[in-house]
Amino acid sequence: MLQYIIRRLLLAIPTFFGATFVVFFIVQFAPGGPYDQQLNALRKGQGAEGGGSAIGSETMSIPPSQLEALQRYYQVQEPIWKRYCMWLGLVPRPTNDYLVQVGTPQNVGGGFRVDVVRDQASGGYLVYKAGDRSAPLADWYVDPSQKANSVWVYQREISGIFTLDFGISFQYRKPVTELIRERIPVSMQFGLISFVITYVVCFYLGTQKALRHGSNFDVISSSIVFIAFSIPGWALGGVLLVVLGGGSDLALFPTGGFQSDDYESLTLIEMIADRVWYFVLPTIAYTLGGFASITLLMKNSLLDTLGQDFIRTAYAKGLREDRVIWMHAMRNSVIPLVASIGGIIGIFLAGNYLVEYAFNIDGIGRLSFEAIRSRDSNVFFAFAVISIIITLVGSIISDLMLALVDPRIRFS
């Protein structure tokens, strides 16, 4: 088993690189990307300063120094593979990037001043600490600039996905890692609760439908789960809010959020009760639409197993019906459910963005939805990476669980 896990992990490495490269490539070259947005914002800003109209501002020129700074910030002059490696954190990226005049000391942040001097011997540039030309600074680098008698000075650092540095959110002006750390526990709580409820209910319901196939219970329950499947979670959430969340006379549940304002001052029992009270309606909206597929998968799998020869042989030997069903048929029937666990985990843990948006829940799903709307590429990249990792880990978990319930599978 250990060798199999190692092989799967090694296989996940190129899969991760391939999936993330596709996402990175599309976002970089799609119209209206982060560079285009900042470019348009600068154009509009220049137009506003000149008193132009909103339409005319789109054609306003940008000062060369600002355009050059923007190009360096997004590294648009670099090839796509190098930008991708910088984003991952495999290649150093420029940091503390400043445009300075040659021979003029200038502040480069934190009260630190540098002085760039042209080296007559090599024709290049050396960076010194202002007032001290005894030895050049080894950790500062120089790039030429389009501006006369000016250069770009910068440092380098390894930062990216592998260092858990997703950059700064353009919308929230906060580190993306901090935003995710604040919101992902909420989505994980909803996801895990929904996952457990879905599998427990669907396992029981699918089993009963298979054992009572063709009965009124089977027909009525099928109608209910298919109706639930046809209703989007966010639409059901809106209806629940109107009917039970204060939109009508029945104000049984809160209208949104996931905890009370005074949550931190409550006792442990009161905290649990408060969280349950807030979780009821969103959990229903999360789970109800997923009942149909898993329930019918369980039902059809059990019906197929009950028609196998070894089940008829068990009945012929005189075994009790409950023993035949639960000891012989059930182990083979749950194989399709176990195989789908990995995908279901990814769906639930990544968050249902529309449900979170409907209930005003600050989860990872809503964060990603707002990032797509506002073209906040750093947040979107982080969500894509999290989704890819969860999917890869989920597939490995599915294989391991499948081997536990199916004795025919051997890792050798």
- Contacts of residue 364, defined as CB under 8 A and 6 or more positions apart, other chains included, come to 180, 183, 184, 186, 187, 350, 351, 383, 386
DSSP character string of 64-86:
HHHHHHHHHHHTTTS-HHHHHHH
Q: Which domains does the chain have, with CATH numbers?
A: 176-405 (1.10.3720.10)
Q: Listing from the earlier edge strand, what are the strands of the sheet with 125-129?
A: 106-107, 113-118, 125-129
Q: What is the pLDDT of residue 55?
A: 39
- Ramachandran category for residue 292: left, alpha or beta (phi over 0 → left; psi -120 to 50 → alpha): alpha
Q: Enter the DSSP assignment of 360.
A: T
Which residues are within 8 A (CB) of 306 and not within 5 positions of it... i.e. 6 or more apart? 210, 325, 329
C-alpha 41/C-alpha 396 separation (Å) is 44
The answer to whether 304 and 296 have CB atoms below 8 angstroms apart is: no
pLDDT at 181: 87
Residue 17 has what pLDDT?
92
pLDDT number for residue 165: 87
Tokens of 26: 């599309």
Segment-wise mean pLDDT, segments of 10 residues, the chain, 412 residues? 80 91 85 76 56 43 79 84 89 85 82 81 81 82 83 86 86 86 82 83 88 88 85 80 73 77 81 84 80 84 86 85 82 79 63 75 82 83 86 82 72 61
Q: 129 with 115: CB under 8 angstroms?
A: yes
Runs of H (alpha helix) within 212-334: 216-230, 233-244, 268-287, 291-306, 309-316, 321-323, 330-333
* Predicted local confidence at residue 18, as pLDDT: 92
189: its two tokens:
């709580």
Q: What is the pLDDT of residues 28-76, one digit of tens each?
A: 877 777 777 777 777 776 533 333 333 344 445 777 777 888 888 888 8
Is pTM beyond 0.85? Reply is no
What pLDDT is stored for residue 15 in this prediction?
Answer: 92
What pLDDT shows up at residue 30? 76
In angstroms, the CA 249 to CA 252 distance is 9
The reported pLDDT for the residue numbered 348 is 57
**Cα–Cα dist 190/126, whole Å:** 56
Asked whether the beta carbons of 119 and 102 are under 8 A apart, the reply is no
Compute the distance between CA of residue 335 and CA of residue 273 in angstroms, rounded to an integer. 36
Model confidence pLDDT, tens digit, residues 333-386: 888 887 777 666 666 555 567 777 778 888 887 888 888 888 888 888 888 888
Sheet strands side by side (includes 93-101): 93-101, 150-157, 141-144
What token pair was written down for 323? 């023993």
SS3 label, residue 57: helix
